[in-house]
């Protein structure tokens, strides 16, 4: 059972996103040990660029030497669920590395964060709200793990 880490900026505010993320976190936890770090949003009074920089510093301070950083970014690599499954299997095989998925705040990730990323991953070319991106990532990771284990969840 491999380990997956998550660094999120901001709490889930809508109850339905909380429920959806909890649902997929529980399901994904059957396949992987999960470690979640939730960071506080930068103060609302700051200009967007300052928010991104402040949140970036906070994110970088939580990255561990063993983390294989995977940033969620609309300009990142797009892949199918089956491709993600193959990557996830490869990423979790190395006991010295832990895939660490990072989703920034409403204004995205700073260059400081994206520069340490081994991979930039896109869920869509469209911009997604933070809460929806978290839900989609958790569902896709659960789907990827299900594919690897031959579970009927993913219909081919």
What CATH number is attached to the domain comprising 93?
Answer: 3.40.1280.10
Side-chain-side CA neighbours of 127 within 13 Å: the count stands at: 6
pLDDT digits (tens, 9 = 90+) for 23-72: 999 999 999 999 999 999 999 899 999 999 999 999 999 999 999 999 99
pLDDT digits (tens, 9 = 90+) for 134-156: 999 999 999 999 999 988 887 75
Angle between helices 81-93 and 130-149 (to 10 degrees): 80
Overall number of domains in the chain? 1
Among candidates 134, 124, 125, 100, which has minimal Cα distance to 14?
A: 134
Structural domain for 54, as ranges: 3-149
Domain assignment present for residue 101? The answer is yes
Domain assignment present for residue 155? The answer is no
Domain assignment present for residue 124? The answer is yes
């Amino acid at each position: 059972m491999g380990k997956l880490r998550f660094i999120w900026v901001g709490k889930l505010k809508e109850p339905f996103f909380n429920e959806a993320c909890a649902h997929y976190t529980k399901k994904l936890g059957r396949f992987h040990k999960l470690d979640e770090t939730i960071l506080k949003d930068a103060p609302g009074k700051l200009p967007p660029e300052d928010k991104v920089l402040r949140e970036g510093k906070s994110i970088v301070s939580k990255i561990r030497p063993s983390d294989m950083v995977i940033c969620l970014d609309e300009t990142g690599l797009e892949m199918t669920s089956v491709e993600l499954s193959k990557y996830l299997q490869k990423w979790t095989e190395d006991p010295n590395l832990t895939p660490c998925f990072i989703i920034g705040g409403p204004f995205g990730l700073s260059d400081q964060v994206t520069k340490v990323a081994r991979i930039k991953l896109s869920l869509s070319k469209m911009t997604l709200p933070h809460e929806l991106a978290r839900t989609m990532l958790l569902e896709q990771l659960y789907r990827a793990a299900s594919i690897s284990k031959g579970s009927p969840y993913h219909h081919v």
